[in-house]
Amino acid sequence: MVVTLIIACEVGFWVLLAAGLALRYLARMPRTGAAVLLAEPVLELVLLIVTAIDLKNGATADWKHGLAALYIGYTIAYGHYTIKWVDGHFSHRFAGGPPPVKPPRYGMARAKHEGMLWLRTVLWVALSAGLLQLAIWYVGEDGDTASLRSWQATSLRILIIHGVIAVSYLIWQKKDPDRGRAPAPEETAGAGRKSLR
């Protein structure tokens, strides 16, 4: 039941996102669209309640409950970022909005971008580990919490791996191939023609 609900929440997330953006840009109903987008957190709340009820009713704490905790943490940490990203692309594609700003590709700017994403992962892991710890306390010492503790270790591994990736962008910064490049003759000529106008 929990796995089915996780899948339903994921599908619901994208359905609500599509409906909210369609109302906002295609139907020209920005307030209604915003209200639909604000309903997104309700999905995580439903999943949290159902998971708690499942444990309360005597279900053995296993990988499904751990996955639910990681899913909730992820959607809280990355949900707004994902919505903003999709909103920018949708606005550009269907409502004549400006092209979405792409993340930097080179140097310290890229390293900073990756560091900010890693901080979101820190939030994700902290929320997930916290929910897992609450579930462990909820089950109590008499219950089997090995699977929940295993998910805590998994979330920590995710944090470390993402941290290594983020640090690699800081240590081995990719250089902009156009930086320091002399302008091509046709670019200089074009600039000269513009100045004569």
Q: pLDDT tens across 41-100, in order? A: 888 888 888 888 888 777 788 888 888 999 999 999 998 899 999 999 998 888 888 998
Q: Is 112 helix (H, G, I), strand (E, B) or coil?
A: helix
pTM here is 0.79
Residue 197 reports pLDDT greater than 70? no
Residues 64-75 pLDDT 10s: 888 899 999 999
Domain extents in the chain = 2-176
Residues 8-23 pLDDT 10s: 888 988 999 999 999 9
Cα(21)–Cα(49) distance, rounded to whole angstroms?
28
Copy the structure tokens of residue 123. 């939030």
pLDDT tier for residue 195 given thresholds of 50, 70 and 90: very low
DSSP code for 140? -
Residues 21-45 pLDDT 10s: 999 888 888 889 888 888 888 888 8
Percent of the chain surpassing pLDDT 90: 38
